[in-house]
Amino acid sequence: MAPIELTRFSQIYSLLHSRWPQFILRALILAGFMFTILSGLWGSQVGSHNFATIFVWIAWWSALKLFFIPIGGRTWCSICPLPLLGEWLQNRGILRSRDAQCLHGKSWPRAWRNAWIPVVSFLLVGWFGVIILTSPRTTAFVLLGLFVLATLLGLIYERRAFCRYICPVGGFSGLYTRLAPPAIRVSNTTLCTIHIEKTCYNVCPWGQYPLALKTSGNCGLCMECLRACPYQNISLSLRPWGIELSSPPKMRVDEVFLALVMLTTAGVDAAIFLGPWGALKSATYTVGSPGWWIFATAFLLLVLGIVPAFYALTTWIAQRIRKGGLSPKSSFTYYGPILLPLGLMAWIAFTLAFASTKLSYLLPVLSDPLGWGWNLLGLTNHISTGQTPLLSSALQTLILAGGAMIATKTARELSRSLYESIPCSYSLLHLPG
Amino acid sequence: MKYIPVMVQRLASSRRSVYLIFISAAAIILGIPVPPPAISATERYIRVEASMYRFSPEQIFVSPGERVTIELVATDVKHGLYLDDYGLSLEAEPGQPARETFVATRPGVYRLRCSVPCGNLHPFMLGKLQIGPNLALLRGSLLGAMAIIIALFPRSAPQMSRQKHFPNGTD
């Protein structure tokens, strides 16, 4: 199925070309973000009665996992409030793009141009997730900390260093976005080769050159390239879901580790938040207690030891069966794409189970966002105990099975490509003889 | 008979057919009725202690048809117990246990939830009641295995010769 080029429709092109729709959305979200921090700091500290915890970890998190990433790719990144102030300061204006007058910060250190920082931040989320999720004040401090960090890095380093190399959400969005339909590409490659100024690259906050985009993983869908291109040569298209898996760009070790951490964390979070094991919940909640230390050690062992070792062994055996001749490190990265549908589907299934029973908390906190006993909309007492609907359970099973199917298909195709490449290279090597 | 493998291969070679096979098989696996289990007309008394943020026992196993009496005992603050699908609801304060009886007519796995806000982890205070065998797990495992088998079925056209979608040679 061919991609649908959305920018071919003049209304959509105009909507994306204008800065105003995106700015209005970002401004509204920034206002909501500030309110979330304030309610976390000064509202009730009972998690289920505070706007900060309920809106961030139930509404936004569910929207991110069920809509933004699987369907919209990095659309959340295009309206995210975290890097906004830093970007405005960097560009010396609100409705401006990067140009000659903007702040030219330092380049991000080469040693850190990878996904290791998001891996570490996700490990921290795994360790302290229960506290972050249930404590309004901790939620507020985390959001505030990320906002300050993004702003400072925006002032020190060029472009969106925070989004590309630090942000935990950006880390996994970048991974799973490869499966999502939206894709920024060029319409005519010849036009790009004759265009010496490369304005699209110069204005890109993500440091991407659209002609060279092999994957949508690092494109933030900010539309700056589309606005800057003098030839209207940038297109936004919708591809068939998961099409990048059929010829995936090579993944690095850090990216595979991030995918493994994400996959394992989905399972661990499901056990903590959806399982019946009270001792596990108590251990994760009482940070610093002996129980928590046991949990933290076991989590680290699982995420950085057992699961990667099992994956490495399996991929090495797979390529040995195919006589691929890859080193353990190469087979570790070669089969990395199979982790993407597995991880994304695991997160979707977990979020469905999580959200289907917790959505009833949304309306009451709108009625009383600070948990101060208000009843602005008359909905304060509408929290239901919630139950897992039969449809949600069946859907979760289907989604997990679908993830297993896509991952198996990807593994099979990767193995076949490996197998097909052997006689080809062999014959080329022996051609002169 | 000899045409059957060819037909299966042709079906499996089309992306649309693969998804169609998967959805049809999924509908059968998830929806197929199973014969009702043997009904046991015995009485069961289960004392469930609720404390922040756990039920004890965490998992309860009963047989289909059993007449189950649950006594909820709160050991620290006020807690509730709500049983999914059965609509059973209890609330207990420390020193004031509550009890209710129901007949476990529908086999399956159900969650017990605390229904009285008891602290920050209240939304995640859960327990499990299993009536009869865990058919959901069985169906899920079967569906997963079937999904993997379908995905393993070889396709006729090699993927590498596929045309790229975008002018810069990418998908």
Q: Are A400 and B170 within 8 A, CB to CB? A: no
* Mean pLDDT across A312-319: 92
Pair (B122, B150) in one structural domain: no
What percentage of chain A reaches a pLDDT higher than 70? 95
Q: What is the mean pLDDT of residues B30-36?
A: 75
On chain A, the residues whose CB falls within 8 A of the CB of B117 are 46, 48-49, 383
> Are B125 and B148 members of one domain?
no
Under DSSP, is residue A113 helix (H, G, I), strand (E, B) or coil?
coil
pLDDT at A324 over 70: yes
What is the pLDDT at residue A148?
Answer: 97
C-alpha–C-alpha distance, residues A235 and A185, integer Å: 6
Measured in angstroms, the CA of B3 and the nearest CA of chain A are apart by: 25
Q: What is the mean pLDDT of chain B?
A: 83
Instruction: Dig out the tokens for A398 from the structure.
Output: 């289907």
Least Cα separation, residue A182 to chain B (angstroms): 11
Q: What is the mean pLDDT of residues A335-343?
A: 95
Q: Contact, A292 vs A283, CB < 8 A?
A: yes
Question: Which site among A216, A385, A395 would you substitute to test the B interface, given the most B Cβ atoms closer than 10 Å to its Cβ?
Answer: A385
Q: Are residues B52 and B11 in the same domain?
A: no
Examine the domain organization and report whether B11 and B70 are in the same domain.
no
If asked whether residues B48 and B123 sit together in one domain, one would say yes
Q: Is the confidence at residue A337, as pLDDT, over 60?
A: yes
CA distances (Å), origin A341, targets A103, A309, A337, A409: 39, 20, 8, 10
Residues in chain B closer than 8 A to A244 (CB atoms): 171
Q: Does B16 touch chain A (CB under 8 A)?
A: no
Angstrom distance (rounded) from CA A155 to CA B61: 59
pLDDT at A339: 96
- For residue A424, pLDDT over 50 is answered with no
B163 within domain boundaries:
no
Q: In Å, what is the CA distance from A225 to each residue of A22, A211, A220, B16?
A: 14, 11, 11, 35
Residue B75 lies in a domain: yes
Coil vs helix vs strand at A45: coil
Distances in Å between the Cα of A69 and the Cα atoms of A116, A344, B46, B63 are 21, 9, 44, 43
Q: Mean pLDDT across the stretch B35-51?
A: 85
Residue A431: band (very low, low, confident or very high) from pLDDT cuts 50, 70, 90: very low
The answer to which of A119-128, A158-167, A420-429, B112-121 has the lowest mean pLDDT is: A420-429
Within a domain: B162 = no
For all residues of chain A together, what is the average pLDDT?
90
CB-closest option in B112, B120, B124 to A135: B120
Residue B165 lies in a domain: no
- Interacting residues of B31 by C-beta distance below 8 A, sequence separation 6+: none
pLDDT grade for A390, boundaries at 50, 70 and 90: low
pLDDT for residue A212 is more than 60: yes
Q: Which chain B residue's Cα is nearest to A276?
A: B127
Q: Tens digits of per-residue pLDDT, A31-70?
A: 999 999 999 999 999 888 899 999 999 999 999 999 999 9
Q: What is the pLDDT of residue B6?
A: 61
Q: Is residue B160 part of a domain?
A: no
Select the more confidently predicted residue: A293 or B124: A293
| Same domain? B128 vs B147 | no
pLDDT of residue B13: 59
Q: What does the block give as tokens for A68?
A: 């933004």
Per the structure, how many domains does chain B have?
A: 2
- Residue B43: the pLDDT is 92
Each residue's pLDDT tens digit, A139-151:
999 999 999 999 9
**Predicted local confidence at residue A417, as pLDDT:** 85
Asked if residue A231 has pLDDT above 90, the reply is yes
In the chain, the amino acid numbered A14 is S
B26 and B93 share one domain = no
A233 burial type by CB count under 10 A (0-12 exposed, 13-18 middle, 19+ buried): buried
B167 in any annotated domain = no
pLDDT given at position B1:
52
For residue A376, what pLDDT is reported? 85
Q: Where residue B81 sits, what CATH number does that domain have?
A: 2.60.40.420
In the prediction, which pLDDT does B158 show? 47
pLDDT of residue A403: 95
| B50 and B128 co-located in one domain | yes
User: B114 and B143: one domain?
Assistant: no
Mean pLDDT on A154-173: 93
Residue A432 pLDDT level (bands cut at 50, 70, 90): very low
In this structure, are B89 and B15 located in the same domain? no
Residue B80 belongs to a domain:
yes
- Give the pLDDT of residue A73: 94
Tell me which of A95 and A358 has the higher pLDDT: A95
**Phi, psi torsion values for B167, nearest 5 degrees:** -60, -25
Mean pLDDT of B16-44: 77
The range of the structural domain enclosing residue B27 comes to 4-34+137-155
B62 is a domain residue: yes
Has residue B8 got a pLDDT over 70? no
Are residues B101 and B21 located together in one domain of the fold? no
Same domain, B113 and B90: yes
Which 112-151 residues of chain A touch chain B by CB within 8 A?
Answer: 130, 134-135
**Lowest mean pLDDT: which of A57-61, A88-92, B7-11, B113-117?**
B7-11
The stretch A349-368 carries a mean pLDDT of 86
**Using CA atoms, how far apart are residues A395 and A377, in angstroms rounded to an integer?**
33
Q: What is the pLDDT of residues A391-421, one digit of tens each?
A: 788 889 999 999 999 999 999 889 888 877 6
pLDDT-derived band at A388, boundaries 50, 70, 90: low
